[in-house]
Chain A
Amino acid sequence: DIQMTQSPSSLSASVGDRVTITCRASHPINTYLIWYQQRPGKSPQLLIYGASSLQSGVPSRFSGGGSGTDFTLTISSLQPEDFATYYCQQSYNTPLTFGQGTKVEIK
């Protein structure tokens, strides 16, 4: 199974800050990397697919990058509604696997 490791596990930031979350795969996965946002008590929401393609309706302050084993999710200017947990997922092969999550909290 491909292991996905996110860092950091949590971070504190202020509204307007630039935030970057990292995801590392244990095996090269080309650009088969997806990012989700999950707010407390809610289902996850798709943000980025194919490592860098923005899902329709997702604000442009979200961006993704990387290929192979190292990937990033960047929020250019953190908004109040962005305080949530973010997960990466590899879709290179099954079983599909997820990172452990990064919780973005208010500073």
Chain B
Amino acid sequence: QVQLVQSGAEGKKPGASVKISCKASGYIFSSYYLHWLRQAPGQGLEWMGIMNPSSGSTSYTQKLQGRVTMTRDTSTSTVYLDLSGLRFEDTAVYYCARAVGDDAFDVWGQGTMVTVSS
């Protein structure tokens, strides 16, 4: 079945970097754009950016420009989120999600908890 499986929880110190993976299966990897979103504890959803798995092109929210990088490995159908210069406010559950139609997210990863603490 179609699924996105993310890597496990991470604990990091302020200023460090984190890299999260999202492995796609059950569909043609290059056919759907993948997005990254996050959700701080008890808060709503925040969009981070989009990747075209076919071309590798990306677009990020201006809020995170300079700190976020999205990459992919087509040989393993995996996309990666790299977030640098971590701050306490980056503590959140990070999701990858597949986009269909007009950027509606029909398949989500299970989420990866990233905790930033000293």
Contact between chains at B45 and A44 (CB < 8 Å):
yes
Residues 47 to 100 of chain A near chain B (Cβ within 8 Å) = 49-50, 55, 87, 89, 91, 94-100
With A and B bound together, what is the CA distance between A42 and B108 in angstroms? Answer: 10
Most A CB atoms within 10 A — which of B62, B103, B106, B111?
Answer: B103
Specify the chain A residue showing the minimal Cβ separation from B59. Answer: A94
Interface residues contributed by chain A, number (CB under 8 Å): 21
Contact between chains at A50 and B101 (CB < 8 Å):
yes
- Residue pairs across A and B with Cβ atoms less than 8 A apart, 9 shown, are A34-B103, A50-B102, A91-B103, A94-B47, A94-B59, A94-B61, A96-B103, A98-B44, A98-B47
Q: Which residues of A contact B (CB under 8 A)?
A: 32, 34, 36, 43-46, 49-50, 55, 87, 89, 91, 94-101
**With contacts A36-B105, A87-B45, A98-B44 known, what are 11 further pairs, Cβ within 8 A?**
A34-B103, A34-B104, A43-B95, A44-B108, A49-B102, A50-B101, A91-B103, A95-B62, A95-B63, A98-B47, A100-B44
